[in-house]
Amino acid sequence: MIVSISLDNKKGGIANSLISYSKALEMIHEEHWIILPSDASVIQELSKISNVKICSMSKNKLRLHSYTRFFFHQGLKKIFEKTKWIFVHNSKLLKFLKGYHNKIGLINHSGKLRNMLHNACNIFITNQGMKRFLTRYPENRSKNVVIPHGFDTSLELVDSRISQDNVLRIISAGRFVEKKGFTDLIEAAAILEYEKFPVQIKLFGSGALEKTLTNRIRTLGLTNIEVMGWTSSLTQEFLAADIFCIPSHEEPFGLIIGEAMLSGLPVVSTKTDGGLEILGSNPENRGGLLVNINDPAEIKNALISLQNKELRTKLSNNAKENIRTNFSLEKLSTNLRSLIDDAA
């Protein structure tokens, strides 16, 4: 049995990670208990997975100072005695859990972890770049285990792209926060509009900067880019677009990049650890184009180069093949099986 714990209640990387880990554990017939807030957006989807047992509670009960009392009073200490691994998705929980089990793994969703690492028995990181960073610190060298996320490659996705005109349909998605770099994409859109290059860019997501992004587009008077808000049918948007652009300043792995690639979208990504890892190290087999961080002009140039349909087709095929070969649920389940067997 595996236990996962998350404080997060929003859509995004942690929610998607809980789903992919659950499906991978289902493949190896491993029971998966998940402790999370009762208002977590992912509960309904997790409940459809056969091996998942959900233990949800109010946010107040999930406050850090309440954890010790909660474990004893709710009997979770007995569950932990049967647990092979505890997967923690929020580093704040580590010091409160360390005394309960000797197999605690932090599933890393952020690059800002150094101050919390001594509390984890293992750090499950998603890319080699992050491992190189963490191994600078001697106390962490034996803790790091690279386990990339997995994607459901069995899904039958029907392409609905329209090609009657020469307008490039570009989408971007994520939380509207500064580190995601959406302002850089807006500035790139301003250059494209000035140069009269035909694109239509849609930004999907939600967050603190939503109004700021909308106001910036309005101030610049742009007609080629709009903020759409969050959508529950992002896959359908992928299948109707020509390009996915992720202008992040920081991206540990980039689940959203993998989802776009699985849908056959060529990707324009900044050179973050996540972008470098998932697009592929070999330029000949890469599923997209890499650009420098915080460089709207370079983003613009990459988007213009993808007007070439042959290049888009090549990158699209590379993208799908890279996900199927290197980031499938089957590969994730194999990695988890090895981890569980080593703990036995």
Residue 216 has pLDDT above 80, yes or no: yes
Average pLDDT for residues 256-279, to the nearest whole number? 90
Packing angle, helices 13-27 and 255-262, rounded to 10: 60
The pLDDT value recorded for residue 171 is 96
Give the Cα separation of 20 and 15 in Å (integer): 9
The pLDDT value recorded for residue 314 is 94
Residue 142 has pLDDT above 60, yes or no: no
Packing angle, helices 13-27 and 329-343, rounded to 10: 70
What residues does 175 pair with on adjacent strands?
206
**Which residue is it, tokens 């202008």?**
247
The pLDDT value recorded for residue 108 is 67
Residue 54 has pLDDT above 50, yes or no: yes
Indicate the pLDDT class of residue 65, thresholds 50, 70 and 90: very low
The pLDDT value recorded for residue 154 is 81
The pLDDT value recorded for residue 14 is 82
The pLDDT value recorded for residue 64 is 47
Residue 331 has pLDDT above 80, yes or no: yes
Average pLDDT for residues 127-145, to the nearest whole number? 60
Q: Long-range CB contacts (< 8 A, 24+ apart) of 304-309?
A: 304/192, 304/197, 306/168, 306/242, 306/243, 306/266, 306/268, 307/166, 307/168
Average pLDDT for residues 85-103, to the nearest whole number? 71
Q: What tokens appear for 243 in the block?
A: 């390009």
pLDDT, averaged across the chain: 83
Residue 114 has pLDDT above 60, yes or no: no
Average pLDDT for residues 243-262, to the nearest whole number? 89
Domains and CATH numbers, the chain: 2-150+328-343 (3.40.50.2000), 168-326 (3.40.50.2000)
Q: What tokens appear for 310 in the block?
A: 């042959």
